[in-house]
Each structure stands twice: as structure tokens, then as C-alpha cells.
């Protein structure tokens, strides 16, 4: 950010500096604010000029300059001294238990030490989403083999495959099982569902429903007896509920009898026990033991053969502080147990442990980096120091790509700990499917060299590929963090192998693979070098390494990655492994499939990549092209990239002002004599800008102008209208930092929500532009008799009034306006009274994009004066409204009473939105989705969750987890990246919510509420709160804020639940969490709502993907962002032409005989 004018006002410096000082992580203003607010204005000019110099710093240089750089002159030195003095004063205040919390202060002052600004870290960041072809071409050169090397690798690999196939009968029971039940079959899907859900269900009723739901939907009898593998048939019969192996003649009749018997309630306990046993048999193949002691005992057989182990304490990521503490203690106990069993002198020969960082902290994410460093890092350090004491290795597992740089920060801190100097057991997992894997190795190699360590690096392919692809698409990222072609991951792995072997002094390589080609490649490239190991997953591809480990084979050590935990905790892990290895493309699957030619299993991936031209997968378009030729996907910011945050903060700082103005934009109307009213920032109730409200006469004039402009506008081609909307979308993306800054301060949006707000507005522009081209550009020819041409076409209605809400002040505002314009109408737009500024700026963009000023009028004002005037006007051709049900009814009555034509009224109103959760659901997923559905945007979404129905068998458990997850939320100023919940819109909304909460305290059971922060008293904050009520009928109207109500229900009461929900009359959004398709189908059939969500949250509908709108008291339809929306805003015209009027029927007569 540059200060162009040296005579910049003090106020500008203050506002810009507040943003600049936040340097992306948006925290440093807590330190600077005492100085900025109280000292700056009284400072001498030289000191002020030093602050001006601060504003000239860009990107990461800003932060380093702030704390550490050598002052360039006396003025600079004066400022730095002043800042250090302020820090000291605040530290003294903290020592006296006043002012700033010590944890925050520590993190603010210490953040520079944890944020790596090195060139190598910047290379990692730069290649996060880089061009796939570019990086693959580069990696292919690094991975290239000589012809001699390639032939040698293929010869070794072919021998391994042949040996595995020869011995698979005794060694690969599970491989045979996954060959039989691959994920392309119904039976494979059934296995997934049963294994994922059954063992955690506490009640018999739901367990029986799941078993029936899954087993009766698959064709198990087709597989009985057609495999020579004992394990396959045993598991088949367990899964078919017999519990024993039968003779071939009994198969068919027995299977029919089992299913018939299942329908008999008397046989269900036997059936249930058999299936439970089957799931445990399946689980044993993947899990080493339910306790670490059992796992260590079971490991002795393989250890005697030359294998060693790395143990992983299974479990989901921590959702609560209690979860994190539990997993931490599990890791500590496991390290003690492994340590006692470790008898070798080296970490490389002793067993080790793998640690998942997301299990150690419920908020292991970039936005909460400071908490991660203060709360989680000390625990991680203690675990590593404990491993050091026992001389065993500790590997930090790789997780989602968005956590990578944060994990490297933690590794860097470990490497610099004096207590760990000389310890060679710090392990890091690197995922080859990431485009930046090679750069991660560069960073770790350099870090090891600088700190005197020798890291253990486990090189893996990666286990989150599908979720990474989806995440990039949903978030609108500029590219994918992973390769879209599988062979490119193999190329990356091959290049990384070479890099690891080239740096053996600082790295102990650990190659995790089940691929015979990769195994052979490693041994070929290693030559006589032996200081490395292979790794494999317990229960998968064992036969491969039985031909590698031991003196009778290649004598290369292999470490088995061994999951440890109860079956309840193993389920998510088990399913991920099944998904990864049951798929037909998996090497584990294909190595035992004799239908797969050996030649295809041992092909050099570099050669395959060359044949593909190094291009991305043709069926996986970049996120921006996700919607094909119809339209572009909206762009976004990667808020998990700290450098992106820095740049975004500096860009947004240019718009951190309090002099914004919104005023009527009506062609030919003078607004200079209007009186201004203040617009307040809901986070602190400080003035953000001013609005000049239109009066009744101006509203009437706006209608007149729009009405008169319609004739000319209706003749403008649909293509030209669409072009203007596409141009507006482009302008929105170009001005994203500006609109984000306004959304944060005017509407109280968090940074993530501000990004999504602009993206949704962009999507509306492009979607309706595409609809205009498809539906309005040309008439549609209809079938009819020969000799006639019959066509139907769509046209605008006239002047449409658009009245929008404050909760999506840009997205819904532009959604309404652009839909009306796309359909060929003129528009008079009235924004919400609380948020006129962002709407005003949007109208200016539409005018800039080519929408004529007389076609689009902007009239901010009150509903009582402006709103009623517009809806009563006889010239109005239609009204689009988003807001409360009560106001919608008033508008409906007004329209019915007005003179003139009957006009369409499109209303999207409130909802009593419900989520139903049965006992087959995954509690961690439920809680995550409830938190986002109920509390994101401070509960101020039309679709937000208001009532949570919990099956009574799991209610206590889910509620306990929900309470813990709520305590991890951050309620704060939305300008801070770590904020989860911002303010409600104004003091009136705050007062209404407080009144409801007080009423609930008297009439309902308080489940949990977050504690208040006195530092936020000036803002309009409502802290998330949960009550338990007896019935949804206790709620008389929608509660528009972060207040959740819980109702318990019995497993047998689904009919009653559906009737109670429907009886409210609302019908906007509904969610169900269940693994039972019968239950999902029941609600799909019986719940009368506009949007149903299954096993996910119920907010965040995407334009053109999940068209949004309700029924009953929740709206009129059609759905916004859907294919029928523009039709409601148009008139239809049919034309019928007799094509034979001027002669014979030429087309008929010319037909060939």
C-alpha cells in the first residue's frame, strides 16, 4: 500500500494503519491501538512521517519491518522505540492482571518468530495451486530414468508382481476380498455403509434398520461360492447373516431363508449379532489391536521376520478440548508402552508412533494459528521429548493441504528447540500428490541442515485426493493443490525419491507404497545404499513386502503403519482405507487381479505422462471452469494462505474509511438537499458512513423513469443485457477487496463470509446472464401440423420493484436486480435500511457495466415511506422481496388492492429450519454441521438452523460434544481472521434476541451458552446459546440469530417428527443426518420444504447448484438461482404463422418418396 500524498490527513493515516498493522493475521492492532489512538495525533511531524513510511511497506516486509528491521533514520528509530515502550507498558498491565490477556499478548509479540518468511517457504506457497502442466513437465525432467534404469526397474517389479500373485492364496485374504467387493459394485457400497456406521449405533431399532437397509439392497448371493479364498466366503456368509460357511448346495436356499427370517422380528437379535461380528472380522484386518499393548503383542510375529512398526492411535480429529486432551493422553500412554518395548539402539530400528495434529487441538487451522502455537505446540513438544527419551521416532502425519504450512511452522519450532538437538526421531509425512511436494522437501532439507537434524521423511502418495478436488471447486480456488492425473502423482513421487537419496546426510527416507513398480524403483535408485526403509499399511498388500524384507529377499527393512484403537474409533479410518484400496484403480486391487496385465503395472509414469502431454485430466476442469461453457465460476481468495491474507489486508486497508455515502440514483432528480443519516458498524456502533434517504416524491419519480424507460429497454437484445451482467461480475471480482471491506464494517460479515457474499453476487450475475441467453435470445419452435410455424418467446414485464434484506446486502440485492434486468425489465431497487452503502456501490458498478441509468433506479429509504410508495404504484409490473413473512403479507395485500394489472409477487421469507439426526449418524460430523448451520453469520441466514431434533439414544453424547465445540468458537470483531461469530446487525435485533433468550430461560432448559466478552460491549453481539424444548410448537416465530433449540425424539417417532415440522407452516430448509437410506427417503417424501440437505450442513446454497427458496410461510417461489426464476419475471408470447399462405407447402412437397 502506498501513500501517494504526503499531505495525507491524520484520519487517513489512522484508518489505513489499523488495517496495515494487522498484516494479514489481523492481530497487531491490539498492540498498536493504544499508541495510534492516543499518541499519534499529538506526535511531532517527524514521527508522523515515520508512520507514513510504514504505510509504504508491502506484503510480508511490513511485519518484519515493524518489529525487527534496523531503523533507517532517527524518525524511524523514534517510532520503533515508541512501539516497544507500548509493548512494555501492556506487558506490565498484564502482569497486574489488567487489560490484554497474556496469551493474546504473547502470541502477538511472538508471531514473527513462528511465521517463516524464507524464500523456500515462499516457493511452497507459490506452488500451492500452480499450473499443472508446468509443474509436471518440471518434475518429469527431475524424475527421468535412463533406458537401462527403466528396464531394470520393470524387471524387478514384474518379478514382484508375479511372486505376489503366486502366493496371494495364503498371504492376501483381504486383497482377494477387495477384489471381489470393489467399490464399483453395490456390495462394495454396502460394505462402506455398514463398516462406517453399524458399530457406533447404541439402539437395536436403528441398528436393525441399517442392516436391513443395506443388506437387502445388495446382491450377495451372486458372490457365494465363486471364490477359492476362505476369507472371502467366510466374510460373505457373515455379511449374509449366517455366521458360518455352508456347502454349495445350501447357498441359494439358505440366502433366501436368511432374508425372509430378517423380516421376522424374532430373528433380528441373531441377525444383528452375526453382522456385528462380521464388521469386527473386517476391522481386524485393518486394525492392529484395540489397545497398544495388544498391538505390540500382535506385532511380534512380523518383527521376527524383520519388520518394524509405526503405531497410530486411531480417531477422528478433535472436536472439543476434551477430545484433544483424550487423544494427547492416548499418545502419551502409547509412547510409554512403545518405549518400554523398544530394545534397539536406533530410532530407525525401534518401533515408532505417528501423531495426527488435528487430534491434539480442535482448531488446528490457519485462522487459529496463534491458538495452535500457544495451546497445541507445548503438547506436541512434550510428546516429541518423550519419544526422544525412549529413542523412538515420532512422525507427524500429513493432513489436508490447507494445514501444510502451519504444520511446517510447528516442525520448524521443534527443529530449533535446544532440548531436541541431536534427536534423529523427528518425522514428517510428505504427500507426493501435492504439487508442492518437491518444494516441501527442499524446505525440510534446508531446515535439517541449518539446525543439525536428520529428519525422518515418510513419502506417501496421499489419502485425501477426492476431498481436495471438491474443496478447491467449492471454494473457487484458482487451481488444484493436487494433481488431477494419478500418474502425475507417481511422477512426483519418483522425483522426490531422487531428491531424498541425494540428501541422505540430513534425511532418513521412508517410502510408503504398495506399488511394486515404486518399490523396485526405490531399490534401483538406492543401489548399494541401505540407510532407508519401506512402509506399508497393516492389512494391505502384505504379500508384496514378504518378498522384499529378510535376508532371503532384498533385505530392505519395512515399517508397518499399524492403526490402534477401538472399533468405534477406527470406523472413519477404516472407510478411508476401503475407499482408497477398494477402488478398481488401486494398485492393491490390481496386483492380485490376474485380468490386469503385468506390463500395465510396471510402466514408467514419466513415459505415461509424456503420452498425456503433461496436461490436466480432461474431465476435471479448473474450478473457474467448473460450470463448463455456460458460465465461469466465481473467483475467491485462499484464506488459508497467510501471504494471500497479507495482500488482501493491505488491499482492504485502502477502503477502511468512515466517510462512505449512499444516496438515491434517480435520473433527473437532485439529491443535494436531502438530510443524511448515519450508518453504524455493528461491531462497535461507530459511524461507518451516511445515507440520504429518498422520500415519497422521489420514489414516485423513480417509478416514472423506470416505466418510461421500459419500451426502449425491452427492445435491447438478450445477448446485450447478458453482456452487461457478465461485465458487472468481472467488475465485482476486480473490486473484491473494496466490497469485502464494506461488507465487514457495514453488515458485520466475517472475512470468510465477506468473500462468499461477493462470490454469490458474481454467480448471480453470470447465472442470470446465461439464463437470459438460453431463454430470451430466440423464440422456441413448438411442434404442430405441417405448413405452420408455431413459436413461443419470453419478454420483460415492465418496471420491477426489488426490495432486499440486510443479511445478504450484496448477494441477494444483486440477485434480485440482475434477474429482473436479465428478463428484460427495468428496475427500481430499494436496499435494506441498515446496509445501503454496499448496495449503492453495486448499482454504480451495474451502470459502469452498461446498464442505462434510466433502466436501473436506486431508492434507499424506509419501508414505511419508500417501500409502500413503490408497491402501491399502479405502474409496478412486479415485486421481488426478501425479508420477513409479516412484511411479505403486507406487500401481498398492497398489490392485490392497487389499481392496474395483476402482477407477480416473488417472496423469499423466513423459516423454522430443522435438522433431524438419528443414531446412525457420525456425531463429529453432526456437531460440525450444526455449528456452521446454527451459528455461522451469527445465525442471520434465512437458511440457518433453528431446531435440532436428536434421537434420544445419542442426544446426551451429541449435546456434550456440541457444548465443547461451542466453547471453541471465537466471538469477536469480524475484521479479525480468527473470528467465527460476529455481531448481529443492529441494536434492535440484539434487543429482540435478548428478549427471546430471557423468555427461554424461564420456559425451556438452558443447555449451554458462551461466556460474554466485556471488551465487546460496544458492539451488537449475541453469544451462541442452546436451549432444549419439548416441542417445536414452543417457538411461535423465527428467531433470527445464534440461538439453537433442541428437541429429543424416539427412534420410532419419525412420523410424528415429520408432522410436527410440517405443522409450523414454514418450509425453507431441512436437513437429515442418517446412514439409513430408508430414513432419508422417508423425509424426502414427507417433509414439505424448498431445500433438503442430507449428511451435511443446511446453509450456503450455491447459485445454479442448489437453487434456493421455500414454500408455505417461507415464500412463493420460484427459487433464486434456479432455472425457473426468470420465467416469473417475464410474459410469454406465442406466434403462429401459416407458411403456405403465399403458396403451396414447399417443405412437404419436397420430401423424397
pLDDT value at 732 more than 50: yes
**Predicted confidence band of residue 818 (pLDDT cuts 50, 70, 90):** very high
Would you state the pLDDT for residue 25? 32
Active site residue 12: no
Best CA proximity match to 474, nearest among 984, 1016, 1097: 1097
Question: Would you say domain 914-1114 falls under CATH 3.40.50.300?
Answer: no
1093 DSSP β-pair partners: 1071
**Predicted confidence band of residue 471 (pLDDT cuts 50, 70, 90):** very high
**Predicted confidence band of residue 589 (pLDDT cuts 50, 70, 90):** low
Number of Cβ within 10 Å of residue 655's Cβ equals: 20
- Contact criterion met (CB below 8 Å) for 496 and 442: no
Q: State how far Cα 163 lies from the chain centre.
A: 44
Q: Given the residues 908, 924, 968, 1038, select the one marked as catalytic.
A: 908
Would you state the pLDDT for residue 197? 82
**Predicted confidence band of residue 188 (pLDDT cuts 50, 70, 90):** low
Secondary structure, 3-state, 360-414: CCCCCCHHHHHHHHHHHHHHHHHHHHHHHHHCCCEEECCCCHHHHHHHHHHHHHH
Arithmetic mean of pLDDT over the chain: 85
**Predicted confidence band of residue 650 (pLDDT cuts 50, 70, 90):** confident
pLDDT value at 586 more than 60: no
Give residue-wise pLDDT tens across range 491-527: 999 999 999 999 999 999 999 998 899 999 999 999 9
Number of Cβ within 10 Å of residue 457's Cβ equals: 27
Would you state the pLDDT for residue 138? 98
Residues in the chain, overall count: 1153
The domains of the chain are located at 10-115, 132-171+289-611, 182-282, 658-909, 914-1114
Interval 194-205 mean pLDDT: 84
Give residue-wise pLDDT tens across range 912-958: 999 999 999 999 999 999 999 999 999 999 999 999 999 999 999 99
- Contact criterion met (CB below 8 Å) for 376 and 364: yes
Interval 724-743 mean pLDDT: 97
Give residue-wise pLDDT tens across range 47-72: 566 555 554 443 333 434 343 444 44
Would you state the pLDDT for residue 900? 87
Would you state the pLDDT for residue 576? 58
Interval 209-223 mean pLDDT: 69
Best CA proximity match to 159, nearest among 674, 519, 691: 519
Would you state the pLDDT for residue 739? 98
Higher pLDDT, 185 or 136: 136
132-171+289-611 topology per CATH: TIM Barrel (3.20.20)
pLDDT value at 748 more than 50: yes
Q: Is the dihedral of CA 157, 160, 162, 168 positive or negative?
A: negative
Reduced to 3 states (helix: H, G, I; strand: E, B; else coil), residue 1073 is strand
Would you state the pLDDT for residue 951? 98
Q: Given the residues 775, 924, 942, 968, select the one marked as catalytic.
A: 942
Number of Cβ within 10 Å of residue 917's Cβ equals: 26
Q: Which range, of 578-592, 691-705, 774-788, averages the lowest pLDDT?
A: 578-592
Q: Where are the beta strands (DSSP E) in 868-921?
A: 876-882, 905-908, 914-917
- In Å, what is the CA distance from 457 to each residue of 355, 881, 1133? 14, 58, 69
Compute the 3-state secondary structure of the chain and give helix, strand, coil in percent, each to the nearest 5: 50, 15, 35
Q: Where are the beta strands (DSSP E) in 831-968?
A: 856-858, 876-882, 905-908, 914-917, 947-951
Would you state the pLDDT for residue 463? 85
Distance from C-alpha of 104 to C-alpha of 28, rounded to nearest angstrom: 10
Return the CATH architecture of domain 658-909: 3-Layer(aba) Sandwich (3.40)
Name the grid cell of 971.
Answer: 466471538
Higher pLDDT, 813 or 243: 813
Reduced to 3 states (helix: H, G, I; strand: E, B; else coil), residue 481 is coil
Q: Which CATH superfamily is domain 10-115 in?
A: Flavinator of succinate dehydrogenase (1.10.150.250)
Q: Which range, of 92-96, 617-621, 928-932, 1105-1109, averages the lowest pLDDT?
A: 92-96
Give residue-wise pLDDT tens across range 820-842: 999 999 999 999 999 999 999 99
Active site residue 424: no
Higher pLDDT, 750 or 1152: 750
Reduced to 3 states (helix: H, G, I; strand: E, B; else coil), residue 810 is coil
DSSP string spanning 183-202? TTSHHHHHHHHHHHHGGG--
Interval 648-657 mean pLDDT: 84
Distance from C-alpha of 629 to C-alpha of 71, rounded to nearest angstrom: 54
Would you state the pLDDT for residue 556? 95
Give residue-wise pLDDT tens across range 68-117: 444 445 555 555 565 555 555 555 655 564 433 333 333 333 333 345 66
Would you state the pLDDT for residue 167? 73
- Contact criterion met (CB below 8 Å) for 834 and 748: no
pLDDT value at 773 more than 90: yes
Tell me the backbone φ, ψ of residue 865, rounded to 5 degrees: -100, -60
Predicted TM-score (pTM) of this structure: 0.87
Burial (CB count within 10 angstroms: exposed 0-12, middle 13-18, buried 19+), residue 939? buried
Distance from C-alpha of 948 to C-alpha of 934, rounded to nearest angstrom: 9
Q: Which range, of 485-489, 563-567, 803-807, averages the lowest pLDDT?
A: 563-567
**Predicted confidence band of residue 860 (pLDDT cuts 50, 70, 90):** very high
Amino acid at each position: 500500500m502506498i501513500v501517494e500524498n504526503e499531505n495525507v490527513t491524520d484520519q487517513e493515516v489512522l484508518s489505513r494503519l489499523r488495517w496495515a498493522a494487522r498484516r494479514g493475521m489481523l492481530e497487531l492492532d491490539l498492540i498498536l491501538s493504544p499508541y495510534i489512538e492516543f499518541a499519534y495525533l499529538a506526535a511531532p511531524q517527524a514521527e508522523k512521517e515515520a508512520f507514513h513510511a510504514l504505510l509504504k511497506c508491502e506484503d510480508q516486509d511490513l511485519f518484519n519491518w515493524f518489529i525487527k528491521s534496523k531503523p533507517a533514520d532517527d524518525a524511524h528509530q523514534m517510532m520503533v522505540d515508541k512501539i516497544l515502550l507500548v509493548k512494555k507498558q501492556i506487558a506490565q498491565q498484564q502482569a497486574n492482571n489488567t487489560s490484554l490477556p497474556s496469551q493474546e499478548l504473547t502470541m502477538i509479540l511472538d508471531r514473527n518468530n513462528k511465521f517463516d518468511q524464507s524464500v523456500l517457504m515462499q516457493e511452497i506457497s507459490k506452488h500451492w495451486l500452480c499450473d499443472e502442466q508446468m509443474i509436471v513437465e518440471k518434475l518429469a525432467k527431475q524424475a527421468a530414468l535412463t533406458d537401462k534404469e527403466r528396464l531394470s526397474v520393470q524387471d524387478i517389479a514384474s518379478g514382484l508382481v508375479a511372486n505376489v500373485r503366486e502366493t496371494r492364496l495364503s498371504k492376501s485374504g483381504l486383497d482377494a476380498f477387495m477384489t471381489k467387493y470393489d467399490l464399483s459394485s453395490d456390495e462394495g457400497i454396502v460394505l462402506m455403509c455398514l463398516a462406517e456406521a453399524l458399530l457406533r449405533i447404541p439402539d437395536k431399532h436403528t441398528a436393525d434398520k441399517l442392516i436391513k437397509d443395506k443388506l437387502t439392497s445388495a446382491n450377495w448371493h451372486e458372490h457365494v461360492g465363486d471364490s477359492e479364498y476362505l476369507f472371502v466366503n467366510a466374510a460373505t456368509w457373515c455379511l449374509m447373516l449366517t455366521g458360518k460357511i455352508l456347502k454349495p448346495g445350501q447357498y441359494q436356499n439358505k440366502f433366501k431363508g436368511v432374508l425372509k427370517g430378517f423380516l421376522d422380528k424374532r430373528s433380528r437379535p441373531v441377525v444383528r449379532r452375526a453382522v456385528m461380528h462380521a464388521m469386527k472380522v473386517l476391522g481386524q484386518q485393518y486394525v492392529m489391536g484395540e489397545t497398544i499393548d495388544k498391538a505390540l503383542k500382535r506385532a511380534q510375529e512380523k518383527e521376527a521376520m524383520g519388520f518394524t512398526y509405526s503405531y497410530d492411535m486411531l480417531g477422528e480429529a478433535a472436536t472439543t478440548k476434551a477430545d484433544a486432551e483424550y487423544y494427547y493422553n492416548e499418545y502419551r500412554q502409547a509412547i510409554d508402552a512403545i518405549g518400554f518395548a523398544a530394545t534397539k539402539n536406533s530410532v530407525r530400528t525401534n518401533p515408532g508412533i505417528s501423531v495426527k495434529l488435528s487430534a491434539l487441538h480442535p482448531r488446528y487451522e490457519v485462522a487459529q494459528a496463534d491458538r495452535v502455537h500457544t495451546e497445541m505446540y507445548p503438547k506436541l513438544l512434550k510428546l516429541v521429548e518423550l519419544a526422544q527419551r525412549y529413542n523412538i521416532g515420532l512422525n507427524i502425519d500429513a493432513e489436508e493441504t490447507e494445514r501444510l504450512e502451519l504444520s511446517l511452522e510447528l516442525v520448524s519450532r521443534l527443529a530449533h528447540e535446544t532440548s531436541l538437538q541431536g534427536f534423529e526421531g523427528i518425522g514428517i509425512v510428505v504427500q507426493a500428490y501435492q504439487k508442492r511436494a518437491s518444494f516441501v522437501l527442499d524446505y525440510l532439507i534446508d531446515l535439517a541442515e541449518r539446525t543439525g537434524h536428520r529428519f525422518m521423511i515418510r513419502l506417501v502418495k496421499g489419502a485425501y485426493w477426492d476431498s481436495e478436488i471438491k474443496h478447491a471447486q467449492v471454494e473457487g480456488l484458482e487451481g488444484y493443490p493436487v494433481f488431477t492425473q494419478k500418474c502425475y502423482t507417481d511422477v512426483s513421487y519418483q522425483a522426490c525419491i531422487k531428491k531424498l537419496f541425494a540428501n541422505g546426510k540430513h534425511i532418513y527416507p521412508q517410502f510408503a507404497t504398495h506399488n511394486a513398480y515404486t518399490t523396485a524403483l526405490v531399490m534401483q535408485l538406492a543401489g548399494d545404499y541401505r540407510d532407508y526403509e519401506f512402509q506399508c499399511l497393516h492389512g494391505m498388500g502384505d504379500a508384496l513386502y514378504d518378498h522384499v524384507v529378510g535376508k532371503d529377499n532384498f533385505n530392505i527393512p519395512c515399517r508397518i503403519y499399524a492403526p490402534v484403537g477401538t472399533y468405534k474409533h477406527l470406523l472413519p479410518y477404516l472407510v478411508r482405507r476401503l475407499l482408497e484400496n477398494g477402488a478398481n484403480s488401486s494398485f492393491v486391487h490390481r496386483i492380485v487381479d490376474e485380468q490386469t496385465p503385468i506390463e500395465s503395472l510396471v510402466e514408467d509414469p514419466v513415459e505415461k505422462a509424456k503420452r498425456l502431454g503433461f496436461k490436466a485430466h480432461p474431465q476435471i476442469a479448473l474450478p473457474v471452469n467448473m460450470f463448463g461453457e455456460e458460465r465461469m465460476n466465481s473467483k475467491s481468495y485462499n484464506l488459508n494462505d497467510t501471504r494471500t491474507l497479507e495482500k488482501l489486508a493491505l488491499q482492504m486497508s485502502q477502503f477502511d474509511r468512515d466517510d462512505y455515502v449512499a444516496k438515491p440514483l434517480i435520473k433527473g432528480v437532485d439529491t443535494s438537499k436531502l438530510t443524511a443519516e448515519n450508518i453504524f458498524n455493528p461491531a462497535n456502533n461507530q459511524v461507518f458512513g451516511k445515507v440520504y434517504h429518498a422520500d415519497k416524491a422521489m420514489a414516485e419519480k423513480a417509478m416514472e423513469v423506470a416505466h418510461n424507460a421500459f419500451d426502449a429497454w425491452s427492445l435491447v437484445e438478450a445477448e446485450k443485457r447478458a453482456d452487461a451482467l457478465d461485465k458487472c461480475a468481472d467488475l465485482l471480482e476486480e473490486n473484491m477487496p473494496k466490497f469485502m471491506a464494506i461488507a465487514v464494517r457495514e453488515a458485520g460479515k466475517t472475512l470468510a463470509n465477506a468473500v462468499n457474499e461477493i462470490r454469490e453476487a458474481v454467480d448471480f450475475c453470470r447465472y442470470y446472464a446465461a439464463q437470459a441467453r438460453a431463454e430470451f435470445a430466440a423464440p422456441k419452435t413448438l411442434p404442430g401440423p405441417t405448413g405452420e410455424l408455431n413459436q413461443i418467446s419470453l419478454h420483460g414485464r415492465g418496471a420491477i420493484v426489488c426490495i432486499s434484506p440486510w443479511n445478504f446486502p450484496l448477494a441477494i440485492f444483486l440477485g434480485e436486480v440482475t434477474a429482473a434486468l436479465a428478463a428484460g425489465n427495468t428496475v427500481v431497487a430499494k436496499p435494506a435500511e441498515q446496509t445501503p452503502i454496499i448496495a449503492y456501490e453495486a448499482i454504480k458498478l451495474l451502470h459502469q457495466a452498461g446498464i442505462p441509468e434510466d433502466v436501473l433506479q436506486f431508492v434507499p429509504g424506509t419501508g414505511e415511506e419508500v417501500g409502500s410508495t413503490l408497491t402501491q404504484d399502479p405502474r409496478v409490473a412486479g415485486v421481488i422481496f426478501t425479508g420477513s413473512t409479516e412484511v411479505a403479507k403486507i406487500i401481498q395485500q398492497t398489490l392485490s388492492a392497487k389499481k392496474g394489472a395483476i402482477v407477480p409477487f416473488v417472496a423469499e421469507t423466513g423459516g423454522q429450519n430443522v435438522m433431524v439426526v438419528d443414531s446412525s449418524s457420525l456425531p463429529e460430523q453432526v456437531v460440525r454441521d450444526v455449528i456452521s448451520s446454527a451459528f455461522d453469520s451469527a445465525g442471520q441466514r434465512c437458511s440457518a438452523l433453528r431446531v435440532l431434533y436428536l434421537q434420544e439414544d445419542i442426544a446426551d453424547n451429541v449435546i456434550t460434544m456440541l457444548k465443547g465445540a461451542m466453547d471453541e468458537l471465537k466471538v469477536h470483531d469480524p475484521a479479525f481472521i480468527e473470528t467465527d461469530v460476529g455481531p448481529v446487525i443492529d441494536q434492535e435485533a440484539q434487543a429482540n434476541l435478548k428478549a427471546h433468550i430471557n423468555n427461554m430461560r424461564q420456559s425451556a432448559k438452558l443447555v449451554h451458552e458462551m461466556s460474554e466478552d466485556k471488551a465487546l460491549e460496544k458492539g451488537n453481539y449475541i453469544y451462541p446459546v442452546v436451549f432444549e424444548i419439548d416441542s417445536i410448537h414452543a417457538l411461535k416465530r423465527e428467531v433470527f440469530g445464534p440461538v439453537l433449540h433442541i428437541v429429543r425424539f424416539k427412534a420410532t417417532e419419525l412420523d410424528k417428527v415429520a408432522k410436527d415440522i410440517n405443522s409450523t407452516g414454514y418450509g425453507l430448509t431441512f436437513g437429515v443426518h442418517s446412514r439409513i437410506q430408508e430414513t432419508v427417503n422417508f423425509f424426502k417424501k414427507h417433509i414439505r420444504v424448498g431445500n433438503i440437505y442430507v449428511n451435511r450442513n443446511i446453509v450456503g446454497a450455491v447459485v445454479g447448484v442448489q437453487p434456493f427458496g421455500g414454500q408455505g410461510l417461507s415464500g412463493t417461489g420460484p427459487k433464486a438461482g434456479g432455472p425457473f426464476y426468470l420465467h416469473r419475471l417475464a410474459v410469454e408470447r406465442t406466434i403462429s404463422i401459416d407458411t403456405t399462405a403465399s403458396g403451396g407447402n414447399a417443405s412437404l412437397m419436397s420430401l423424397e418418396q
